[in-house]
Amino acid sequence: MGKISEFNQHDHEVIAREYADLKEAARKRCPDQTELDMIQKAFDFANEAHKGVRRRSGEPYILHPIAVAKIVVSNIGLGYKSIIAALLHDVVEDTDYTVDDLRSLFGDKVATLVEGLTKIKTVLDNEDKAVKKSMQAENFKRILLTLNDDVRVVLIKLADRLHNVRTIEFMPEHKRDKILSETMFVFIPLAHRLGLYSIKSEMEDIWLRYKEPDAFHQISEQINRTVIDKDKKINEFIAPIDQALKSAGFQYEIKKRVKTPYSIWKKMRTKGVSFDQIYDLYAVRIIFDASRTKEPERAQCFHIFSIITGLYPYKEDRVRDWVNHPKNNGYEALHCTLMSQAGIWVEVQIRSQRMHEIAEKGIAAHWAYKKEGIISESESEMDKWITKVKDILVNPDVNALDLLDMIHNDLITTDIMVFTPKGDQRSIDKGATALDFAYAIHSEIGNKAIAAKVNFKLAPLSHVLKTGDQIEIITAENENPKREWLQFVKTSKARKFILEYLKTQRHTTEKHGKHMLEVALLEIGKSLTDKVMKSLMEEFDVFDTKPEEMYYKIGNGEISLENLSEKLKKYHGINRESYFVISNSDSNQKYILASCCTPIMGESVIGFRDSDGVITVHTRTCPNANNLAAKFGDQIVAVKWDKEANSGSTYLARVSLKGTDRMGMINDITRITSKVLGVNIRRFNLGAEEGIFDGFIDLYVHDITELERYIARLSKIKGIDRVVKTDL
């Protein structure tokens, strides 16, 4: 909660001002005076309950529930019961009031919402390591289980998380890392899947601001400079569109926007491009009133598309039709990218007012239109997704950590459209296989599948599907699920049914897994000692369970034994040269550099302490580090580089390159690397085909500054299009 102290006049003025803003927002959403009176009653109650209590920032605690309530009504568009629940969401946890007290004052629904929002208060047994290590996952499971009762609980929880990250600067560093990692691992994908674009984008930008502050500020400055330079040109681009739509009789508004710092940073990282190479930096939204004519919304979208593409050339491979095929978070729009008269690529998003409201407020707007009969059950991809998540959540055989991974993977997938033999359209995860499709039709079809026909051609069950494919599943009565199926299925539904079958053979699977492990260890000259067992259980994230769980996961294919020797090198001094002093605060502390992201001196890093006290150091933006922090926040350790202790040390890094091949290219690269910059190359792997070369260089550098200087120098070589640090 926070410290107790009397509020002064300034505190009361701030509270009154913030509540007045909330009341104004609520009035637009809740015209009924009775509802507004209940909101006032909830505010008075919460204000009294949190009286004199302050947050870490020093501000009155009541400002937090007011801020959450404002997000609930303004960003999500929920009604008065959700506003009341947001105002009261910390009362039961932080004061002596009970859920029954709230029920008697505000009714069953509000009490149920607050009960769902109340955090778990568990007294942990210090010796109960398994419970302690999975506490965060259990919290997430409880949050997501509320989807079975009322999705509004999750929405209010998202609003609560958004305000917490807005004020994260007042948190200690280790707590900040935990919260930001949880946010990236679960809450940002959840906001995306529920269609809450503004909440998702704001949380992403806050994550970047604290995880990569230099990159955030640099990109933000570049955005500001570019907008000032190009704003006039964008207005000139819009003018002909404005005139043409008026002439066609449309009622509309046009809005401009620029990509967010996070989306630009992510594209620069994944594509290996510079800020100047991001061609779709600008977007223009055309939001039209579909009620002006009886012409269907979809037809009006394509009518506008035909008008604007008659004015400007468009990039054919950048047309996105989410009008005929909405995203599974309910998003509908028609996107295209046009070339302006100034030579700038501009993305244009065409939406009706209904589509725009769903795009901005997500599931709440979706429900409102569905209630009015504008969205039918058959069109509701969001409802299908919620049903799918509920099926995962109620599976008694899935523990909290596995469930968290399943939900995370489900949240970040996108959908494609495929067809049954009869021509019925089905939505399935991008990357799904023919076997996933079989299980999507029926569990028995999946269990008995032996092959498929994709577009009338025979294909294996592992065949990856593409949009537009027509699939027929071939079955055999004596067929049963195989553990190797787990290696290629994509969907949680398919995995669930396969695991259910394999559970009946668990003992056999455990014996098989143990044998596989013993054989794999024998091949690298080792045996299954207690020391090796402990290391592997930690490596495979099963250190809070019994060895049989690891054997089972190896046997059913969930754990791969590839590169087993490399996995073991991180433990018990086998790779002793990787230990280093990162901070001089404890000369006896041992650290290892994570092999997944290979941190380099000077990079922003985060540490995780294992059961032996050894700290593994990751870069702050490493996906594995985010996943660990989301699940095991109590193991986070704040670490800093000790430049003096590490002076003279070198770090192995990989730089990937791509460009246009020419005579002398390799000579130029090696000359710059070895002779000009004096960098020591460990491995050089470049190949060329049809005039394009790509590959990588493994090299030793003293710190991140040296690596960045090297990358910048290589980027200036004629013909090189991309140079970026990648994982080894």
Domain identity same for 687 and 564: no
**Is position 390 within any domain?**
no
| Interatomic CA distance for residues 204 and 337, integer angstroms | 24
Catalytic residue among 13, 18, 37, 93: 93
Amino acid 629: pLDDT: 82
The secondary structure element, H or E, covering residue 25 is: helix 9-29
CATH, residue 136: 1.10.3210.10
Distances (CA, A) of 40 to 23, 98, 668: 8, 20, 72
Q: Is residue 2 part of a domain?
A: no
- 683 with 632, same domain? no
pTM (2 decimals)? Answer: 0.67
224 with 368, same domain: the answer is yes
Q: What is the CATH number of the domain that holds 285?
A: 3.30.460.10
> 258 and 367 in one domain?
yes
Domain hosting residue 607, numbered range:
576-637
CA distance 77 to 377: 21
Instruction: Decide if 179 is inside a domain.
Output: yes
pLDDT of residue 578: 36
Let me know whether 543 and 618 are in one domain: no
- Sequence-distant (6+) residues with CB within 8 A of 280 are 259, 318, 337, 345, 346, 347
Q: What is the structure's pLDDT at 449?
A: 94
Residues 245, 358: one domain? yes
Give, to the nearest 10 degrees, the angle between helix 492-503 and helix 506-523: 100
Number of neighbouring beta carbons within 10 Å of residue 491: 22
In tens, the pLDDT along 644-700 reads 766 777 888 889 998 888 888 888 888 888 776 777 888 888 888 778 888 899 888
Domain CATH number, residue 709 = 3.30.70.260
Q: What pairing do the DSSP bridges indicate for beta strands 651-660 and 636-637?
A: unpaired
A 10 A CB-CB count for 141 gives: 18
Query: What would the two tokens of residue 277 be?
Result: 């190479």
| Domain end marker among 182, 209, 236 | 209
Residue 385 within any structural domain of the chain: no
- Pair (406, 543) in one structural domain: no
Which member of 21, 24, 48, 94 is catalytic?
A: 94
The CA distance from 82 to 106, in Å, is 12
| Type and span of the H or E element at 638 | none
Residues of the chain with pLDDT under 50: 120-134, 377-379, 572-579, 581, 584-585
Asked if residue 702 lies in contact with residue 640, where contact means CB atoms within 8 angstroms, the answer is no
Residue 114, in any domain of the structure: yes
Is residue 64 located within the same domain as residue 120?
yes
Residue 251 domain flag = yes
DSSP string, 467-503: TT-BEEEEE-TT----GGGGGT--SHHHHHHHHHHHH
345 Cβ partners below 8 Å, 6+ apart?
Answer: 279, 280, 282, 315, 337, 338, 339
Show Cβ contacts of residue 518 under 8 Å, excluding neighbours closer than 6 positions: 527, 528
Q: Are 337 and 280 in contact (CB under 8 A)?
A: yes
pLDDT tens digits along 486-545: 889 988 889 888 888 877 777 888 888 999 998 888 887 778 887 788 778 877 877 656
Burial class (CB in 10 A: 0-12, 13-18, 19+), 183: buried
φ, ψ dihedrals at 284, nearest 5°: -120, 130
Q: Is residue 388 domain-resident?
A: no
317 φ, ψ (degrees, to nearest 5): -80, 5
Q: How many domains does the chain have?
A: 6
What confidence score (pLDDT) does residue 401 get? 59
Q: How far apart are the C-alpha atoms of 658 and 687, rounded to whole Å? A: 10
Alpha-carbon gap, residue 366 to 590, rounded angstroms = 53
- Which amino acid does the sequence have at 557? G
Stretch (H or E) spanning 695? strand 692-701
Q: Any catalytic annotation for residue 205?
A: no
94 and 129 co-located in one domain: yes
In the block, which residue shows the tokens 């509004």?
152
Same domain, 366 and 424: no
Whether the Cβ atoms of residue 89 and residue 168 lie closer than 8 Å to each other: no
Beta strands at 615-619 and 591-593: parallel, antiparallel or unpaired: parallel
- Within-domain flag for 642: no
Residue 706 among the catalytic residues: no
Domain's final residue, options 472, 487, 503:
503
Among the candidates 568, 593, 618, a domain finishes at: 568
Q: Are residues 79 and 138 in the same domain?
A: yes
Phi and psi at 724, nearest 5°, equal -150, 145
> Is residue 608 domain-shared with residue 519, that is, in the same domain?
no
